Chain A
């Protein structure tokens, strides 16, 4: 038996490594995970733990690729989408993504969910030069093609939205006193920052910054506090559960501020119905996705396409969960990128096409909103439109607004 010398170690290492990576086709120049018949991709998501309510996103994302495969795949190749649970804990995300890259040998990750989770793998993905596509998080930092050329976000980021709320307030209630309800984590704080940055030197209009934790049972006390302190503009950045509680409590204590709701919590079915549709009258919000529970879209073609998808591939799922819409759109974007690659299915090729999305539409995006990227612009979706709730449905008004940050 050979001695374990330095030479044998050096010799054994690459062999050991190659043995563990799946065999790669030699015919064409493919990236990892690609053969003539298959493309392997992956992601992580919170299937368990306290953030498990977001599991709708990776679930819909995976179901979309089932549909793509049933329709013949992408350029003749089926998509094998591996999805692992990370419980929304960054250490687990690191482990699972390393598994995807080093053990499963995926070409890219698509729609990995959560800001801290993606922050944990950010450097790794860029060092290993693995595409980290369409991060399911609205943090501003994903739009950084110079510093992190392998990572790209997808949605209008939270800070942009915050600025839009600030602008709306300045235009409609310039003498208002603002109270912001936000979740005490990255996305909540980003919203708050956006609002304050958007107000500029009028940032002192914000007189109450009320945070909540996801473990708080209710946000009633924050709402009561705002009314008592004389807030006249309520910027409600809560997730559906807390946004609904706030809307209901405000009605209960007979408080009628200018109520601006963030896009996270504006679903008719998921937020407004439980809160009481009447209580939600005159609330203003911003949209980039179609609300699946808004009766306005019932006859819309894009909506019907999505409903058909849900009925066939996720029949037991709750259509009121906006996560399903998001997952669908994320998968559609990745599919488009892979389509545009043709046979140039290397990681470099993927990123070339990622920077080459021009006017791409998805059935569930608001009419007029298109995804656009370039070598210096890694924010595919930047536009939103404001809407006002009339007690039954959201009525879009104004023009498409382009987010300013990023």
Chain B
């Protein structure tokens, strides 16, 4: 939708709102393209450890995107996404550990399993609002470690000892390390999923989903099938977070019930809010935050790491109440007002 803008118009300052919008869009696409290029060449300049960390950032970003689809775009609050992340991770781990399936197939498998479970969970969730839904999802998140430890399922899940997953190896014809391969693999998957999410949001379905968030009664009055869309969104959201979980299992090469507690759900929620609820690119910023800020807090003081983390959270939320995306929006709005 970019149009070429005659130079005179800009010089005179007579850019109309439509032209300004398309300028912003053009700028935005450029920035995104630039970032993607950077993302592709970064592993060549950093150590394999940092590459590993960046892989984790991408994974958390994808998990947060899943939560975003549900909470940000559809208004359904969820404290239970650690459960979907865990289900995705364990699906991948079980397939690799018990059935020796190639890691490539674990992603779609995790996605399908989580979609189904998310959809099924979305059905009873239809009746619940806000805090009551929070409790139900909270129940899901708390149940997950207990179910994973349950002795009847130990043969599959490895019980409390967890499962070791073989890390994917780089294909022999590529001269890169396993860590770099995992990074690129994750990057491609994440890019594809993000693009899908973008196109979903900008489609009719996306608009329906957002309409349900903004005004469910009006949406229903307009002929949108609220129940169907809400449960489908739950499923999609679970699918995204589940695939992130599967990638997580590959990156860490180990799954255990203790990795998927309610605290993970809370981290994802924090990442979502800090990144910007309802913003797709914000999710990656959220991922960065979730990974690096606890490290920063830890470096400042090991004993009071939790307290420092809390203080950082407060500072960030005071400065950017609508998250990073909101901040960027505000900043670009102010800047473009000055330009005009």
Contacts and interface: CB of A to CB of B under 8 A. Distances in A.
Interface of A: 4, 6, 9-10, 12-13, 16-17, 20, 47-50, 52, 55, 59, 83-85, 87-92, 94-95, 98-99, 102-103, 115-116, 119-120, 122-124, 184-186, 189, 213, 215
A94 B252 contact: yes
A9, A17, A89, most chain B CB atoms within 10 A: A89
A124 B253 contact: yes
A10 B176 CA distance: 8
B298 A98 contact: no
A119 B256 contact: yes
A215 B258 CA distance: 13
Interface stretch (B17-25, B42-50, B119-127): B42-50
Contacts of A52: 306
A20 B177 CA distance: 16
18 contacts: A4-B41, A4-B44, A9-B175, A13-B177, A17-B48, A20-B46, A47-B298, A47-B302, A85-B302, A89-B261, A89-B263, A91-B56, A91-B259, A102-B48, A116-B256, A119-B164, A119-B256, A189-B160
Contact of B298 (A4, A9, A85, A213): A85
B298 A120 contact: no
A68 to B, nearest CB: 19
A255 B151 CA distance: 30
Given A10-B175, A85-B305, A116-B258, A17 B248 contact: no
Contact of A185 (B47, B160, B254): B160
A119 B161 contact: yes
Contacts of A47: 298, 302-303, 305
A151 to B, nearest CB: 13
Nearest to B177: A13
B227 interface: no
B258 A98 contact: no
A50 to B, nearest CB: 8
Contacts of B261: 89
Nearest to A209: B151
Contact of A94 (B41, B254, B263): B254
Contacts of B52: 95, 98
Nearest to B259: A90
Interface string B141-166: 01000100100000000011110100
Given A90-B252, A102-B49, A185 B258 contact: yes
Q: Is the interface of B mostly helix, strand, loop or mixed?
A: helix
A48 B305 CA distance: 7
B46 A16 contact: yes
Nearest to A183: B160
A120 B254 contact: yes
A83 B254 contact: no
Contacts of A115: 161
B10 to A, nearest CB: 32
Interface of B: 41, 44-50, 52-53, 56, 142, 146, 149, 159-162, 164, 175-177, 248, 252-254, 256-259, 261, 263-264, 291, 294, 298, 302-303, 305-306, 309
Contact of A95 (B53, B159, B177): B53
B312 to A, nearest CB: 13
B24 to A, nearest CB: 32
Contacts of A12: 44-45
Nearest to B60: A91
B253 A89 contact: no
Nearest to A55: B303
B45 A99 contact: no
Contacts of B149: 184-185
Contacts of B175: 6, 9-10
Given A90-B259, A95-B52, A99-B49, A213 B146 contact: yes
Given A17-B48, A50-B263, A122-B164, 19 more contacts: A9-B176, A13-B44, A13-B177, A47-B305, A49-B263, A84-B298, A84-B302, A89-B261, A90-B256, A91-B56, A92-B294, A115-B161, A116-B161, A116-B258, A119-B162, A120-B254, A123-B253, A185-B160, A186-B161
A98 B49 contact: yes
A47 B303 CA distance: 6
Nearest to B52: A98
Contact of A186 (B47, B160, B254, B305): B160
Contact of B259 (A59, A98, A116, A122): A116
Nearest to A52: B306
A117 to B, nearest CB: 8
A81 B175 CA distance: 36
Contacts of A122: 164
Contacts of A94: 252-254
B40 to A, nearest CB: 10
Contacts of A4: 41, 44
Contacts of B248: 91
Given A94-B252, A116-B256, A120-B256, A48 B306 contact: yes
Contacts of B47: 16-17, 20, 102-103
Nearest to B307: A48
A16 B306 contact: no
A89 B258 contact: yes
Contacts of B50: 103
A139 to B, nearest CB: 8
A153 to B, nearest CB: 15
Contact of B49 (A9, A10, A13, A103): A103
A10 B180 CA distance: 13
B144 to A, nearest CB: 13
A91 B295 CA distance: 13
Nearest to A19: B47
Nearest to A101: B49
A73 B66 CA distance: 52
B300 to A, nearest CB: 11
B41, B177, B298, most chain A CB atoms within 10 A: B298
Contacts of B303: 47, 55, 59
The 8 residue pairs across chains A and B that have the minimum distance between CB atoms = A102-B49, A120-B254, A116-B256, A20-B47, A48-B306, A186-B160, A85-B298, A116-B258
B225 to A, nearest CB: 39
